[in-house]
Amino acid sequence: MNRYLVLTVLLAFTIISALVLAWLNLVNPPTTIKTLGLTYIENTYFGPYSSMSPEAVTAIVWDYRGLDTVYETAVFFLAIVGGLSVFRGVKTRASAMKGIGLTGIAKASTKIIAVMIIGASASIALHGHLTPGGGFQGGSTLAVAFLLIIPIFSVYSLLNMNITSEKLIAIRGIALTAIGVVALLPVLKNLPLVSNISFYPSHIAGMLTSGSLFFYNLFEYIAVASGFTAVFIYLSLAGAESEEK
């Protein structure tokens, strides 16, 4: 009770303090932008060396911090490899007699929800250069659809549709290779590594793609979704084998 009383008092004090400060105009929002903020604004969309991206965070992550992000992708690659190595030897063949899943109502609702998740994930990834989001966020969201399908339909339903960990790992490798190619291509024209607008077009078919940002997000989207889903399948199969034993 004492803990709840202290928390209640602190919450009330915080709310009252905020109201008093706002009423007395003691804390006003800034009317000017800091120099660092102006630099980001001028060089994400408006400046001569901009990324032509209205989403400053994506521009900074993939353009200003492009090399660092490539290294982060490499770390993710190794993390997935480590996770998959733990489950090496797990049988990944489908069985037609397995995978009954849950009830028809659960399956029908899951189909609707999964389609909505897939659509939302694509929007998050492919609009990552326009609005907050990106390839990693979109890929993680897409993996949630498979994470939902596995317990409802069973992991064997994915295997019966030829969605296997081996294929997903191959897709992930292709996507990660594509990220490396996008980063390296500017070097062919004696441009710095991970160059953006100086090498890639800002618009394709009249649509703003912000140079390389769209391609980075697209391939990261595929790599993250396939990597996570492969691990989910291995985890589910390992659990199924343990139950059988």
Q: pLDDT value at position 113? A: 94
Give the bridge partners for 204, in sequence order.
207
Cα 36 from chain centroid?
A: 27
Q: pLDDT value at position 148? A: 92
Percent of the chain with pLDDT over 70: 86
Residue 73 parent element (H or E): helix 66-86
| Strands (E) located in the chain | 203-204, 207-208
Q: pLDDT value at position 154? A: 84
Q: pLDDT value at position 193? A: 82
> pLDDT (tens digit, 9 = 90+) per residue, 32-51?
888 888 877 777 877 666 77
Residue 210, burial from CB neighbour count under 10 angstroms (0-12, 13-18, 19+) = buried
pLDDT tens string, the chain, 245 residues long: the values are: 678 888 888 999 998 888 888 787 777 777 788 888 887 777 787 766 677 888 887 777 776 666 666 677 778 778 877 777 776 665 555 554 455 778 888 899 999 999 999 999 999 999 988 888 888 899 999 999 999 998 898 888 888 888 888 899 899 989 989 988 998 999 999 988 888 888 898 889 888 988 888 998 999 999 999 989 988 888 888 765 555 55
Q: pLDDT value at position 97? A: 45
Q: pLDDT value at position 83? A: 74
The answer to whether residues 209 and 202 touch, using CB atoms and an 8 Å cutoff, is: yes
Residues whose CB is less than 8 angstroms from the CB of residue 230 and which lie 6 or more positions away in sequence, other chains included: 80, 84, 165, 168, 169, 172
